[in-house]
Amino acid sequence: MSGVLTVARLELTVRVRAGRWRWLLAAWFVILVGFTTLLRLAVSHAHNLQGNVGTVMYGGLQLFLLALALLVMPALTAQSVNGDRERGTLGVLQVTRLSAFDIAGGKLLAAWGTACIFLLASAPLVAWSMVEKGVPAIRVVIVTLVVALLLGVICAISLGLSALLARGTTSSVLSYLSVFALTLGTLIVFGLATAATTQTRVVHFSTGDPSAPAGCCSSEETVARTDLTWWILAPNPFVVLADAAPVVVERPPICRSFRTRGSIRTFCTPQPQSGVDPLGDISRSVRSLRSPPGLQSNIARSGGGEDLVWPYGLGFDVLLGGFMFGVATRRLRTPRRTLPRGVRLA
């Protein structure tokens, strides 16, 4: 473990002193402040929010932050192994007592730590949205943890690619492509797969007219079998983020009382908060994808535990990150039998 820390400290020292890193962080903060301020101004005149400005601000901020982070992270790690090799510093590191795991782990830790510093820079804005009400602390804690984990996954993927490929430019391009695959790619494949699995079925109905012949009245309808394809969307970082966010309950559920055979029974349904909570909206729509056709109108089950999507998505993402980290470790192991084509160790 001390080897990992040694390498991480080296990487961070080198990185922190590089001026461009500070500029990137400054630009990052300015962009987030600008976005949050604009968002605040945009929602200030909306009437349906009823004091939940914070929910919108926080949700919007987190989605924007994730998008921005997905753009920045590959740049931080995508050349960390092959760049070192091109600069001639890798071999010198590998002949020391540091193991391949130390080197890969240190590089990942440094990159992830940097990512977390970027995340930390958004703290004032998160605090602002909390002041505006409608953001429970538990939501902030869980969303922050999930975003941190997702950024770690992106770092691990980039690290693995930089160890796998000889050229820094190739691994950078592939890192961005894998981010693209996880975000837009899952969306595109989900759309196409859903269209491809759409079924047509015949629905029979009775008209109530006794003179009509049996089975006279039927119509055809197409049903999207999203219950078969929802998992394609699951690894999408935005889906994971939104679905993992705990539900905000800020309005009391609508309750109706019925008098049945002398006793009074009360049925309550949580109020849907469409348009108020961006994270909740995404979460509800992806969870509803899991229900078989016919049950999709059952919006009321918004907190239904069995329809969770994020554990699958996050699980997949973390496994992918772990796999790519394993690839990096394997690739850093010496003595080497095979070398990537055109690579010299010294």
Q: Toward ligand ATP, which CB reaches closer, 26 or 339?
A: 339
The phi, psi pair for 102, rounded to 5°, reads -60, -45
Contact 119, 141 (CB under 8 A): no
With CB under 8 A as the contact rule, the residue among 51, 88, 303, 322 that binds other proteins is: 88
Restricted to residues 98-137, the positions that interact with other proteins (CB under 8 A) are 98
The DSSP bridge pattern shows strands 263-269 and 199-204 to be unpaired
Q: With CB cut-offs between 5 and 8 Å by kind, which of other proteins, ligand ATP, none does residue 18 bind?
A: other proteins
Which residue matches tokens 């909570």? 277
Q: Toward ligand ATP, which CB reaches closer, 97 or 344?
A: 344
3-class DSSP state for residue 235? coil
The phi, psi pair for 201, rounded to 5°, reads -135, 155
Cβ-Cβ contacts under 8 Å for 188 (sequence gap 6 or more): none
Q: Which residues pair with 260 in a beta bridge?
A: 263
22 lies in the binding site for other proteins (CB under 8 A): no
3-class DSSP state for residue 188? helix
20 lies in the binding site for ligand ATP (CB under 6 A): no
Instruction: Count residues near other proteins (CB under 8 A).
Output: 30
20 lies in the binding site for other proteins (CB under 8 A): no
Q: Toward other proteins, which CB reaches closer, 274 or 334?
A: 334
Restricted to residues 305-344, the positions that interact with ligand ATP (CB under 6 A) are 339, 343-344
1 lies in the binding site for other proteins (CB under 8 A): no
Cβ-Cβ contacts under 8 Å for 70 (sequence gap 6 or more): 154, 179, 183, 237
- Options 12-20, 152-160, 192-200, 317-325: segment touching other proteins (CB under 8 A): 12-20
Restricted to residues 306-335, the positions that interact with other proteins (CB under 8 A) are 334-335
Q: Toward other proteins, which CB reaches closer, 188 or 339?
A: 339
- Options 7-15, 23-31, 223-231, 299-307: segment touching other proteins (CB under 8 A): 7-15
Which residue matches tokens 């192994």? 81
Report the alpha-carbon distance of residue 224 to residue 321 in Å, rounded.
Answer: 32
With CB under 8 A as the contact rule, the residue among 52, 62, 80, 94 that binds other proteins is: 94
261 lies in the binding site for ligand ATP (CB under 6 A): no
Contact 324, 157 (CB under 8 A): yes
Q: With CB cut-offs between 5 and 8 Å by kind, which of ligand ATP, other proteins, none does residue 98 bind?
A: other proteins
CA 334, chain centre distance (Å):
35
Which residue matches tokens 């919006």? 299
Shortest CB 291 distance to other proteins, Å: 55
Residue among 136, 140, 159 nearest 148 (CA): 140
Which residue matches tokens 């269209």? 195
3-class DSSP state for residue 321? helix
Report the alpha-carbon distance of residue 42 to residue 57 in Å, rounded.
Answer: 10
75 lies in the binding site for other proteins (CB under 8 A): no
Shortest CB 113 distance to ligand ATP, Å: 33
Shortest CB 342 distance to ligand ATP, Å: 7
**Dihedral sign, Cα of residue 92, residue 166, residue 327, residue 25:** positive
The residues binding other proteins (CB under 8 A) are 2-3, 6-7, 10, 13-14, 17-18, 84, 87-98, 334-337, 339, 341, 345-346
The residues binding ligand ATP (CB under 6 A) are 339, 343-344
